[in-house]
Amino acid sequence: MHNLPLTRDLVLIGGGHCHALVLRKWGMNALPGVRVTVINPGPTAPYSGMLPGFVAGHYTRDELDIDLVKLARFAGARLIDGAATAIDRGTRTITVPGRPPIAYDIVAIDVGITSAMPALPGFTAHAIPAKPLGTFASRWDNFRRDTTDPHIAIIGGGVAGAELAMAMAHALRDKTPTVHLIDRGIALKDLGTTARQKMRAALGAQGVQLIENAEVRQITPQGVMLADGRMIRSDFTTGAAGAKPHDWIATIGVETHDGFITVNAALQSSDPAIFAVGDCAHLGATPRPKAGVFAVRQAPVLYDNLRAILSGGDLRPYKPQCDYLKLISLGGKSALAEKFGTARKGPLLWRWKDHIDRKFMDQFGTLPAMQGPKLPRTVALGMADALGDRPMCGGCGAKVGRAALQTVLADTFGDDAAIVQPGQIITTDHLRALTHDPALMARIAAIHALGDIWAMGARAQAATASIILPRMSADLQQRTLSEIMQTATAVMTKAGAVIVGGHTSLGDELTIGFTITGLTENPITLAGAKPGDALIVTKPIGSGTIMAAEMAGAARGADVIACLDLMTAPQANAAERLHAAHAMTDVTGFGLAGHLRGICAASGTGAILTLAAIPLMQGALALAQSGIRSSLFADNQRGAGAVTGPGGATYDLLFDPQTAGGLLAAVAADKAETVLRDLKAAGYPAAIIGEITHDPGITAR
């Protein structure tokens, strides 16, 4: 069946609990014609229900986090790693610093709340708010591991502060911690009498010291200064009070209540194109306290209403319950349950809470893997071999392999760019999209194409763009091209090139390419490597494996984001520091071994690689050890010729296709260490990984 054209843009700002559930439902039953975008500062969204358990040491960080990269891939959505800072309702665009504006037809906001604690003198410099959870969790992880004499202060004596205080005391119980819980009034005043009494007893059992009716004046490096002059020593100060909406919400221009977006029963704001859920929303007709249970139960209604408004259907109301069950962690594996003024506590309740929390998180850990196309009953011979045993990878994993190119283009197969006249070179490179984000893909494709210019020691001069868009409406064509060209222009301008033209067309999927000319008086070619030269690489390898795993839902989101960050790192400054290289290339689709083979063949040499010295991308080795390979792996292995080595995952990564990879240079041995120091000082994760030899073979050891 033909792909249906895209006609509407749905943007989800924030990866909160409600949006996470909406994405899962969308992946199970998407609305054809809708392009979904998720904007979130980071690849994961911590689940607040498990935060006290994480702090106490009952859960790992991976168990705490919802992996939004995997979830977005499952939903067919693009994930933008960044924080929204404004919505322009007139142009219907969203601002995320560092990239072009993102257009929307419908937008939903689920960004939670932030803390008013930074307004306290000294808080920003010497403390950490409990929200956003991700930043807090990372800081706590480091403190828990490194501290030897822990003194802790928690500002805010509500349920959240009390949970954190008991969790911290439990986690550090072997180090005899001093934990203070400070409140400007009476702690736990929002609980019923019975629950409050039990909670205060639990705090005492964990050794938490309550300081009530105390105003905080200042946070210092030594601790918390109170208004009455007392200094509470603290090495780790946090705030669980003063929750407030994000400042940018007030600039949207929709109706708010105490800064929170007021929504109707359908979860719509006063602007029908803007929905809001979770803690950042205020239920105008049926106000409720800020609690995750409401966000979770809003998800089915939000999903239905987003589909309805995007397809011309009727909206349905969200009907919140009057009260909800509060399950409160007590530090150890014990919990308190409170509802309708009745309270109980004990280990059984913690097991119940643990079961509920794990069941919630299991929804995001059991997403179906991407499947290949379903074949008709009868197909032509050779179909199974042509398809392979896995989906075709994007980026350089989608290119024709080195072995095939050598056979067909034997007379022209050589340097990264062609010398068209003395002092001028030209190259062309095109990539099939490996991400749903056209702006990110444009940046990767531009860096990738510029790699051929940099690899020959040249300066970029002029470029033309060649873009194939997937089928979409005229509005979405304009939006998508705008993101692509704004991004590409910024990258090329920084590299010294001017985009002078190009061509666009529609097709089955997004493809972006550039033809670039460059200027150089002394081009660095593949030929020229000399026995004894050191081999220097400027980026880690592993992107083909990571992106193949991402397509299959097997890669950690943090590893994918780190991989994409490396892909978008330009190499112009690295090329300048490698100006004296005897031979140079960029490591792209043929893999490290294939591109090294190109240098050796042109120079009439061989090479020895030290596997342990080759830098690998975060997560690549573990994925390779699990058997994940790019769809181009086998062809790259054939195309690299005989590469003697011990086998194993690191050896296999030599044949992993790279997208926008680093430079590989043969440098005189007596200059290599100086060049390497210069590269590292400039911020490149470069390494010396081997040497050029007289022997024409390649050996990895």
Catalytic residues: 396
Contact 374, 1 (CB under 8 A): no
- CA pair distance 213, 186, nearest whole angstrom: 6
Q: In what order do the strands lie in the sheet with 698-700?
A: 583-586, 663-667, 534-537, 687-693, 606-609, 698-700, 643-644
β-bridge mates for residue 326, sequence order? 338
- CA pair distance 87, 13, nearest whole angstrom: 10
**Cβ atoms < 10 Å from Cβ of 46:** 22
28-42 burial, b if ≥16 CB within 10 A, otherwise e?
eeeeeebbbbbbbbb
- CA pair distance 45, 14, nearest whole angstrom: 9
Contact 615, 541 (CB under 8 A): yes
- CA pair distance 592, 403, nearest whole angstrom: 15
DSSP secondary structure letters along 397-449: GGSPPHHHHHHH-TTT--SSSEEEETTEEEEEEEEE-SSS-HHHHHHHHHHHH
Residue 501, phi-psi category: left (phi > 0), alpha (psi -120 to 50), beta (remainder) = left
- CA pair distance 129, 142, nearest whole angstrom: 15
β-bridge mates for residue 9, sequence order? 35
Radius of gyration of the chain (CA): 28
**Cβ atoms < 10 Å from Cβ of 416:** 25
Structure-block tokens of residue 149: 């004499």
- CA pair distance 112, 17, nearest whole angstrom: 9
